[in-house]
Structure 1
């Protein structure tokens, strides 16, 4: 186990064609809500709080992801909690985020062609996909967006806000660019701590986002060199889907 003070290593950006080509075993474990989880995990569904169309006021994950998040949270120093900002994400939310960022980048950089726009958008938002063989990571219940807070619920300094689509959001930014002030020094320390506890719990990190971690999806499998991913696309059970199952089951 490496020290929480160890540098965050540089990692390559995903080669998405290789990621989406990995087979999926198809673990069918049901999604479970994070909001019932005790401290030291806090749940703050960021997209619902921001009023993003289609966002849900809960963070759902696979059971094994839940267990590993607890492992990470319990290894944090006293007075520090893990905050889950997003987990399973409806496809329509993924589509909204992708299209919104794509348009914003295009407005800011009119010189970019379609390929460049796609590349820069995918740096921070993956393609919206419900393909059973290549789903968006957050559609699987294996991807989570997390940060840290103190015992009074105040978010710790991470250098950028959640979902800021700038190079300073790259996980190893402060390894490559020495912190210039106390705020950046705190962010450097906190990113290392978050990275350490999450990787020790078995997650992988998307290098362009300090907040994004994966377990069991294709992105996780690609970074770990696994032969296959565990999780394909998942859906949250609704009252309608429950009734349909009940009515179709012989009594």
Structure 2
């Protein structure tokens, strides 16, 4: 039997998720990591001794299969799975894109939280911790971003509601809202268009996945009576979601 605290990370195959897996493993957690790309998870497992399980948070059946593989208690849940698709304005919105974003960013978060709530309550030690990875899009908007910002606004509403519903229970809820982070985010958003994805970060210094993973680890390390409700983390070169300083 292991005696390590258990952490679960969704969207763990790359970017913020993968870096969160690394830091949690290095700091004494037994980490169960979920994502659709099993080959990526297996590569991480070899490096960090985390446990890979296929997970598609947009599928209730997949979430059920994933949670059946977990121990009876979980101390940390990182709801990281999600992302953006397309940049169409509302008058030309792509319904398939919006539905897919809502399934992963919003319903996926809700599915994982519902499934693991009993486990989070079972071993507070002295508190458990849920992280919802949002975005500065959870409180800002921009042309072409209505589908994604609507999803991330919903993440904020869910995070705030969880704190109200769980008041008095030993579960902390933290929302992390990053600005520009150079990961596969833009590559996915633009359907694999490398040049277009790279242009998002041209002439500025974005955050790294490690920057965000470190905020998760820091929040966990606070005394049990302290809850970091919301943390907004931007690169110095970003003042708003659409206000970027770029070198010529």
Of Structure 1 and Structure 2, the greater strand share is in 2
Q: Same fold (TM over 0.5)?
A: no
Larger % of helix: which? Answer: 2
Higher relative contact order structure (alpha carbons within 8 Å, sequence separation ≥ 6):
1
TM-score (norm 1): 0.25
- When normalised by structure 2's length, the TM-score is 0.25
